A and B are shown apart, each in its own frame.
Chain A
Amino acid sequence: MIDAYFSNLENAIKNSPIVIRYDMQRFLSIPSEGYVNLNHRQKEKKMLKQIKIAVIQFPGSNCEFETKRAVESVGMKAQIFRWNRKAKELRGYDGYIIGGGFSYQDRVRAGSIAAKEPIMETIFQEAEKGKPLLGICNGAQVLVETGIIPGINPGEVEMALAPNKMEKEGRIIRRDYYCNWINLRQEVEGRRCVFTLLLNKEEVLPIPIAHGEGRFVSRKEGLLKRLIKNNQIVLRYCTSLGEIKEEFPVNPNGSLYNIAGVCNPQGNVLALMPHPERANWLRQVPSEIEGEWAKEKLRAWGKQGLMEGEGPGRKVFISMKKYILMAHSSWEEG
């Protein structure tokens, strides 16, 4: 496992467009066998103690504690950061997650009121410095309403997350709120985005969704072409075998181009509609779904240790950790 992580990271560092401060030469000197040198492991432990992730809580958020547990499960410290604290206090954190829920009861439009909060200005500035920022479900809606995503013209609202529209065989068969397990396909090289560093291209992950407004739309001419060209469409809805089909239920909300997750041009911000924190542990995966993860769940049945092991969503948080560790390494010696 660790070999694979370092192998992916090595490639990530060589080719990443991400603007972070780290010492590439020093990092590449770490043996690819993994933690052969205990000093490196101790060093990482020491660094992990210093890493703090802010999990933003707005009135109406309801996934912040689950998200906090998911972040802590990979060894990082997470703190719930209330929306009405002083915005400048956010600057001391190494990464940010805006979790799911119904911020401000979705008044006016999902994410629109939270997008105007003062802390979003600070988060925007910190993200511009290269710090990782993940928006999950309602968090993704906030990022889109703030203009952080897709970020072609940073700050400009270039997309929307519209009410779901499920089409099949040319007919609209369903609308609005839908919750189920769906499959995501990694669309680009994992290194393209901070939160998918450890994913291989075309890798399929089963992750649950639960939303009424998850349909990525845009009236900006040429935006979709630009996103594809920039490799900003990181994750798309697919079948368990990784096939892209535009119809429901493979595309669960009618999203443009089956988009499930979009990153900014720098790759350190991701707006993701599915909930990775709800697939963080293997025990969370339903054994009834199709694919390898369900089979792994069945193999682990009755073995608590295995059930508490890694689920499909955990790679998102581990990727975030690896990215921050790389940045911290350079800051310590830089």
Chain B
Amino acid sequence: MIYDLDLLVKLKIPDVTAVTTKDTLQRRMGYKGVLKDLRREDYWKIKVEAKNEKEARRLGVELAEKANIFVNPNKHTYQLGVGGQRTEVISHQSSVISYQISGRREKGEDRRQRLGEDKLYPLRVLVSYLEDGTADLICDALKNRLRYGKRILEVQRGTIWTLIIKAKNKRVARQIAREITLTKDRKKGLLANPHFQKYQIYV
């Protein structure tokens, strides 16, 4: 049976790319009051052939921990999801949004209810390449050099940007995420250049 492994790899050291991106969006592109936080993860989708879901999961853990391609345990943590025949891009639970005020940690939901203001929406933007040679090379390396052979069918990669956006509703939050993502001109968009990248937004 064919399974999709969704591997999310996150830095456990400070992510300077996320810091720079957030800083550019807030200070240079006018999203200071709107973009509350930004995080980044590497996303790998690996199509594998396995007898059952348990074996697929075991293969996923082995690829993450032994292949030395996707995860460097010195600086990364990872989460693994196993999809069935129907692929789910995001398979792990969203974390609770917490917003720190005056040194006291307050959960996002409580704060919104207290202040009656715009809500905070976590959105995930998956940016990937229209044509990704690096993913093809990695697939080839897994199959041949690392001898996983026919168990590995395909590798896709992307970057998942988690945007915490303050907005009136989901529709507006999604619109803001689209503006942040799609690079149209020097003032609009940053995360994806549509001439060689594609994106998907998940609320």
Query: Which positions in A face B, CB cutoff 8 Å?
Result: 104-105, 107-109, 112-113, 115-118, 120-121, 124, 145-148, 155-160, 162-163, 165, 172, 175-176, 217-220
Contact partners of A108 in chain B: CB under 8 A: 17, 20-21, 190-191
Q: Which residues of A contact B84 (CB under 8 A)?
A: none
- A160 x B186 contact (CB < 8 A): no
For residue B128, CB closer than 8 A to chain A, the reply is no
Q: Which residues of B contact A145 (CB under 8 A)?
A: 183, 186, 193
Contact among B24, B185, B190, B193 with A156 in the assembled complex (CB-CB below 8 Å) = B185
Question: Can you name the residue of chain B whose Cβ is closest to the Cβ of A156?
Answer: B185
Which A residues lie within 8 Å of B24 (CB)?
Answer: 113, 116
In the bound assembly, the distance between CA atoms of A148 and B185 in angstroms comes to 9
Compute how far the CA of A160 lies from the CA of B195 in the bound complex, rounded to whole angstroms.
Answer: 6
Among B20, B28, B183, B195, contact of A220 (Cβ-Cβ < 8 Å):
B195
Q: How far is the CA of A165 from the CA of B29 in the complex (A)?
A: 32
Report the Cα distance A298→B33, complex, angstroms: 63
In whole angstroms, what is the CA distance A113 to B21 when docked?
8
Chain B interface residue count, CB cutoff 8 Å, equals 25
**Residues of chain A lying within 8 A (CB to CB) of residue B29:** 116
- Can you list 22 A-B pairs, Cβ within 8 angstroms, ordered by A? A107-B20, A107-B21, A108-B20, A108-B21, A109-B197, A112-B190, A112-B193, A116-B24, A116-B186, A124-B186, A145-B186, A147-B186, A155-B185, A160-B196, A163-B196, A165-B131, A175-B134, A175-B137, A176-B133, A176-B134, A217-B196, A219-B194
In the bound complex, how far is the Cα of B183 from the Cα of A145, in angstroms? 8
Complex Cα–Cα for A109 and B20 (A): 12
- Nearest residue (CB) in B for A159 is B195
B20-A156 in contact (CB<8A): no
Determine if B16 is an interface residue (Cβ-Cβ < 8 Å).
yes
Contact with A along B59-81 (1 / 0, CB 8 A): 00000000000000000000000
For the complex formed, measure the closest distance between the CB of B194 and the CB atoms of chain A, giving whole angstroms. Answer: 6
Closest A residue by C-beta to B23: A113
Closest Cβ neighbor of B134 among chain A residues: A175
B58 at the interface (CB under 8 A from A): no
Q: Are A147 and B21 in contact (CB under 8 A)?
A: no
Does B184 have its Cβ within 8 Å of any Cβ on chain A?
yes
CB–CB B195/A120 < 8 A:
no
Give every chain A residue within 8 A of B183 (Cβ-Cβ): 112, 145, 157
A143 CB to closest chain B CB (Å) equals 10
Please tell me if the beta carbons of B185 and A162 are within 8 angstroms of each other in the complex.
Answer: no
Inter-chain contacts of A172 with B (CB < 8 A): 133
Chain B CB within 10 Å — which of A108, A146, A160 has the most?
A: A108
CA distance in complex: A162, B133 (Å): 11
Report Cα–Cα, A219/B17, bound state, in Å: 27
Bound-state Cα–Cα, A148 to B187, Å: 12
CA distance A217 to B133 in the complex (A): 15
Contact A163 to B133, CB < 8 A, known contacts A108-B17, A147-B185, A155-B186: yes
B186 touches A218 (CB 8 A): no
What 0/1 readout, one digit per residue, does chain B (122-137) give for beta carbons within 8 Å of chain A? 0000000101011001
How far, in whole Å, are A113 and B17 apart by their CA atoms in the complex?
A: 10
Bound complex: CA A163 to CA B137 (Å) = 14
Contact among B17, B186, B196 for A146, CB-based, below 8 A: B186
Q: Which residues of A contact B129 (CB under 8 A)?
A: 163
Quick one: given A108-B191, A217-B196, are A175 and B133 in contact (CB under 8 Å)? yes
Knowing A113-B24, A163-B133, A175-B137 are in contact, say whether A120-B186 is a contact too (CB < 8 A): yes
Nearest CB on B from A164, distance (A):
9
Within 8 A of A (CB), among B162-202: 183-187, 189-191, 193-197
Top 9 A-B pairs ranked by shortest CB distance? A160-B195, A162-B196, A146-B186, A175-B133, A116-B28, A107-B17, A160-B193, A155-B185, A160-B196
Please measure, in the bound complex, the distance between the C-alpha atom of A147 and the C-alpha atom of B188, giving whole angstroms.
Answer: 11
The answer to whether A157 and B191 touch across the interface, beta carbons within 8 angstroms, is no
Task: Using A157-B183, A172-B133 as known contacts, list a sample of 20 further A-B pairs with CB atoms less than 8 Å apart, ordered by residue number in A.
Answer: A105-B16, A107-B21, A108-B21, A109-B193, A109-B197, A115-B186, A116-B29, A120-B186, A145-B183, A147-B186, A157-B186, A157-B189, A159-B195, A160-B193, A160-B195, A163-B129, A163-B196, A217-B195, A219-B194, A219-B195
With a cutoff of 8 Å between Cβ atoms, the chain A residues found around residue B187 in the complex are 155
Q: Which residues of the partner chain A approach B194 to less than 8 Å between Cβ atoms?
A: 219
Cα-based distance from A52 to B85 in the complex (angstroms)? 64
Provide the bound-state CA to CA distance between A262 and B129, in Å.
Answer: 24
Bound: A146/B197 CA distance, A:
17
